[in-house]
Amino acid sequence: MHFMYFTEQPMSAYPAEEGLKFGATALMFPNKHFDPAEGSRLYNEFIDQYKLAEAVGFDGIMLNEHHNAPFCMQAKANVFAAVLAAITERVKIVILGNPLPLSENPVRLAEELAMIDMISKGRLVSGFVRGGGQEQLATGANPAYNRERFEEAHDLIVQAWTRPGPFRFEGNHYQQRVVNPWALPLQQPHPRIWIPGVISKETVIWAARHRYPYIALNTTIEQTLKIWELYDGIAAEVGFQGGPAYHGYLKQVHVAETDEKAIENARQFTWMQGEFTGLAHPVWSTPSGYGSPENRRGFVEFSTGRGTSPRRRPNFAEQIENNMIIAGRPETVIAKLRHVMRETRPGIMSLWANDGGISQADSLNCIRLLGQEVLPALRETAKELGLESPFEANTPVSLAQSTDLTPRAAAAE
């Protein structure tokens, strides 16, 4: 099983009362409230967290990217991935992921990722996402073409990695007269591609058709099982067997010496959910054309007071009760995560361990307890359940590729 460490990299050092007054903290919340000195401190604290995560035994570090909002400071995941490529030695660098529709030059993105793969000596896992609705507005990308641009940019990147250049690419959204990058991945035929998501059935289906593992982002156990049922059904249609090596799961988990301390800190997970300062207006999150008509209608009705939120989250107590948030001393967390593993059977698990205003001392302590006490117990459970990661199962990189990797790719994994 593959265990990753994750933090959303929150910009928690800003005046929360201003966010409450404004009513939202994504897209339109004025950046005059951003303090670069505090940002510098936090960026370096996150680096220390990642270094400790490698030292205590995590298999990977998960990175993501968001824009125009304090809930995530990673405006470019590739920047942090490049830093980690140089300062770490063992962990996989898992980008989940680059928002492809926001890119105006996918070939340049392919080059950046190839450089990260080479510098890390073949430790990159390159995930791709559609990007949030408000991010389409922030970058001037037409939401109506979001999925088209996502799929076309993906095809161009994979071709740039695998098809000898120079060649010409003519798509509906991207036209490249010359594709001939002189930065190619160390891993062959290309780095593994994993796809994260929450509620989009279309993305689950697309991932399965490409034989890419799908990472469910903090969904409930019931939602997760429905995702696996859909994924594995499509996998069977296109000719392979799904299962743990293709199933990933992100869970919010915080550990401390006592249950009381851990639960106190775990309340900070609701910071990112918007309990303290709000996130984004629903219409900004799902602009017209971004999602399916059914999803769009639900968000608009909610924003106009005619319906409940289609993404209504349970309150903190309910999330603790149903294991959406897992918090406690190591023994408590081990028992709850074992239950989740038995129910959902993922081969990839990302532990979102710190968020909001959790102090650096408590964040580092949580990582240390996870690595030294929780992960060893979970690895035993994974062996008992036969939960192999894509690396352990040696699954093909994509549907079109066999398991016969070149010597340098095999050495990299």
**Residue bearing the bigger pLDDT, 26 or 283:** 26
Residue 405 has pLDDT above 60, yes or no: no
> Cβ–Cβ contacts within 10 Å for residue 375, how many?
23
Amino acid in position 373: E
What is the token pair recorded at 189? Answer: 């035929």
Q: Over the stretch 45-55, which tens digit does the pLDDT of each residue have?
A: 999 999 999 99
3-state secondary structure of 350: strand
Mean pLDDT, rounded, for 269-285: 69
- The residue extents of the domains of the chain are 2-412
Mean pLDDT, rounded, for 347-372: 97
Confidence (pLDDT) at 410: 35
What percent of the chain lies above the pLDDT cut of 90? 74
The answer to whether 356 touches 10, Cβ cutoff 8 Å, is: yes
Mean pLDDT rounded to a whole number for the chain = 90
Residue 301 has pLDDT above 70, yes or no: no
Confidence (pLDDT) at 311: 54
Q: How confident is the model at residue 275 (pLDDT cuts 50, 70, 90)?
A: low
Give the DSSP letter string of 192-240.
Answer: B--EEESS-HHHHHHHHHTT--EEEES--HHHHHHHHHHHHHHHHHHT-
Q: Over the stretch 89-115, which tens digit does the pLDDT of each residue have?
A: 999 999 999 999 999 999 999 999 999
Confidence (pLDDT) at 171: 97
Confidence (pLDDT) at 272: 67
Mean pLDDT, rounded, for 226-248: 97
Q: Over the stretch 114-127, which tens digit does the pLDDT of each residue have?
A: 999 999 999 999 99
Confidence (pLDDT) at 308: 54
Identity of the highest mean pLDDT range in 67-76, 148-157, 264-273, 395-404: 148-157
Confidence (pLDDT) at 312: 59
Confidence (pLDDT) at 402: 42
Residue 304 has pLDDT above 90, yes or no: no
Element holding 261 (H helix, E strand): helix 259-266
Q: What's the CATH class of domain 2-412?
A: alpha beta
Q: Which residues neighbour 290 within 8 Å (Cβ) at sequence distance 6 or greater?
A: 133, 136, 143, 144, 146, 296
Residue 408 has pLDDT above 50, yes or no: no
Mean pLDDT, rounded, for 51-77: 94
Which of 19-33, 35-49, 149-163, 399-413 bottoms out in mean pLDDT, i.e. has the lowest?
A: 399-413
Mean pLDDT, rounded, for 265-270: 93
Residue 262 has pLDDT above 50, yes or no: yes
What is the token pair recorded at 341? Answer: 């593993």
Residue 33 has pLDDT above 70, yes or no: yes
Residue 413 has pLDDT above 50, yes or no: no
Confidence (pLDDT) at 407: 31
Residue 201 has pLDDT above 50, yes or no: yes
Dist. CA 145–CA 93, nearest whole Å: 29
Confidence (pLDDT) at 398: 80
- The span from the first CA to the last CA of the chain, in angstroms, equals 14
Confidence (pLDDT) at 294: 65
Residue 331 has pLDDT above 90, yes or no: yes
